[in-house]
A and B are shown apart, each in its own frame.
Chain A
Amino acid sequence: MSALRTLVDLLAGRADAAALAPRDWDGVIGVARAEAMLATLAHHLADADLPEPVAKLLADQRAAAAVAQAQALWEAEMARRALAPEGIEFVLLKGAAYAAAGLSCSAGRQIGDLDILVLAHDIRRAENELLEAGWEWVKSDPYDDFYYREHMHELPPLIHKARDRMIDVHHTILPKTHRITPDALALMSDAVRAEGGFAVLNPEDMMCHCAAHMLADGDLQGGLRNLWDFHCLTRDFAAADADVWGKLDARADLHGLRAPVHRAARLARDLYGAQLPSGWSRQDADDIWYRRRLLARDDWGRSTNVALQQAFYIRSHWLRMPPLMLAKHLWTKWRKG
């Protein structure tokens, strides 16, 4: 069995860590690193019976993730101090939100850039306040800058000059040119406050965004991690509220995200063993391509199946912009080399 399959089985609870041969861990550790999930696995196996070198390495990963998470939340606090005095409300997205809300997927989860959502009419002010507080532009290319401002759902990335950390300021959760247009105003106005004081999306919107980010926006790079987020979110929220699937359906319809949300649920069932209610647990012939794409990695951590990856890459662009615009965009990018 491939190491990536073993990783998925370990996370799903289908495989017993104690039953792995010592050398099986080479591949499992390698692919978990490649999927940015080694610390997630470390938390999942915190009480498992492991070979000593593996137990030590996983303990390192848990400690490192705790530090990284504290640093990521500090970055959120820095954004709050820059924006709150001006009355600019913002909502944390993705990793920082999961950590701020103490959700189970945040255990060991790697958090890259700080992602925040503001109201569209606040975005200029937010940009100015962040620039004044020490963030600066990363991209200096005029086409990229124009492209972000005209067509994307976020500002061009900003980086803090002293702390060297990036922030992505969103005004919605999918590119403006995307075939699907979620209700950004509803996302902001129905946000909830996490215990530490930060605003995060409400449970249904959080699940919608997770699915949209994974299946409607990108080419499924890092898909296993995003799918794990989705799986943990649905599991946690369903445990707290028996009616969550019905609410998720209604909310997904509002945002036009029913298809990606349902696909994410089916993939979570197929890979991580998620329990779905009857209306959700169907089969879809296309899911096999997604599963293949998610599992396209060999035991040395290298991605495999180049053609399928390329197909998903093209698909992501196809969803993001209308054909004529895509042609213009690719032409400009190609000319600039």
Chain B
Amino acid sequence: MRHSTRIAVGPVQFRIGSDWREPITALERLYAGYPKDEDRPADATVRLFAARPWRRWLRPSVHIGGDFVVPDALPLPLSMGLLAAEMGMNLQVALGWRRHMLLHASAVARDWRAVILSGESGSGKSTLAALLGEGDWRLMGDEFTLIEPASGDALAFPRAVSLKNEAIAEMTARVDAARLGPLLAGTPKGNIRHLVPRADAIAAMHEPARPALILFPRFGGEAAIEPMGAGEAFVRLTEASTNYTALGEAGFAALTRLVREAPAFGIAYPDSATGMALVEQLWAEAAR
């Protein structure tokens, strides 16, 4: 393709091609601090392309393709090319990665032990993980947590965090502006701004962590902690996994082990500070 770049996030090496320069420039700026190995063959290919040649210039709209495509996915305007690239990368991992069990979950780690936060979009799992990652936690990722079937360890996928709507103001007040991407206003998912994880989190991205706590956060309502049985956690995580079925028996073994070894809780919180305090409280109890 006309323009391209390579990005490594956790165990996945991406090659991203584009009909336009802009999304590649934006990606290279956002991922400048990530380790680069130009010689490493790519595991996954993302393509950002114009459906018709003239649409490169005339009302340019970015279609998302690659090894795996979603039929009938709507294109994005070129101004949201960075979001298209992010969606393309997520898509390739969600549909193509088989080495690990993928959980649609954020995660943070301390002392090589991980807290996994699983929930739907809007549950606040991204924001909570990003906030914890600015404290004395290592941010492992805001979108995918990878479970290694053989060892049961959690592996990081620390892509740039996708901050949405209210979370943008909350984070911009705390972090160096150099770690923030451009504001993407009015996307189909609302306002979006990317946050580059801290340098130490990127440097540690290949270090596994032992799952110690599984949380299902719910933003809104009074602060609450609800202990959850292993069976319910299991069922919820099968729904949060994009490749549980495809992994067959290995997926079943990895997930049963995960919910048996790590206690699970639902937490509700009215604001971020309370959410973080609940995580710390449960961590202190789990660590005992």
Where the two chains meet, the residues of A that have a C-beta atom closer than 8 Å to any C-beta of B are 22-23, 25-26, 29-30, 33-34, 51, 53-54, 56-57, 60-61, 63-64, 67-68, 70-71, 300-302
Contact = CB atoms under 8 A, between A and B. Distances in A.
Contact of B40 (A22, A64, A67): A22
A54 B247 contact: no
B100 to A, nearest CB: 9
B41 A54 contact: yes
B266 to A, nearest CB: 28
Interface string B237-261: 0000000001111100000000000
Nearest to A63: B98
A53 B250 contact: no
Nearest to B247: A67
B226 interface: no
Contacts of B96: 33
The interface centre, meaning the residue of A53, A56, A70 with most chain B CB atoms within 10 A of its CB, is A53
10 contacts: A25-B41, A29-B45, A30-B67, A34-B67, A51-B40, A60-B98, A70-B248, A300-B1, A302-B47, A302-B49
Contacts of A23: 39, 41
A71 B246 CA distance: 9
A34 B92 CA distance: 13
Given A53-B13, A53-B40, A300 B246 contact: no
Given A26-B41, A301-B67, 5 more contacts: A25-B41, A26-B15, A29-B42, A64-B98, A301-B66
Nearest to A20: B41
B17 interface: yes
B98 A33 contact: no
Interface residues of B, number: 24
A67 B42 contact: no
B249 A67 contact: yes
Contacts of B86: none
B3 to A, nearest CB: 12
Given A34-B67, A61-B98, A63-B98, A53 B43 contact: yes
A67 B39 contact: no
Contacts of A57: 41, 43
B189 interface: no
Interface in B73-126: 96-99
A300 B69 CA distance: 13
Contact of B39 (A22, A34, A71): A22
Contacts of A26: 15, 41-42, 45
A53 B41 contact: yes
Contacts of B15: 26, 30
Interface in B7-53: 13, 15, 17, 39-43, 45, 47, 49
B216 to A, nearest CB: 25
A30 B248 contact: no
B43 A64 contact: no
Contacts of A56: 99
A300 B99 contact: no
A194 B54 CA distance: 55
Nearest to B46: A300
Contacts of B248: 67, 70-71
A68 B41 CA distance: 25
Contact of B45 (A30, A53, A68): A30
A68 B246 contact: yes
A67 B246 contact: yes
A301 B45 contact: yes
Contacts of B40: 22, 51, 53
A34 B41 CA distance: 17
A61 B45 CA distance: 16
B45 A300 contact: yes
A51 B37 CA distance: 13
Contacts of B67: 30, 33-34, 301
Nearest to A30: B45
Contacts of A25: 41-42
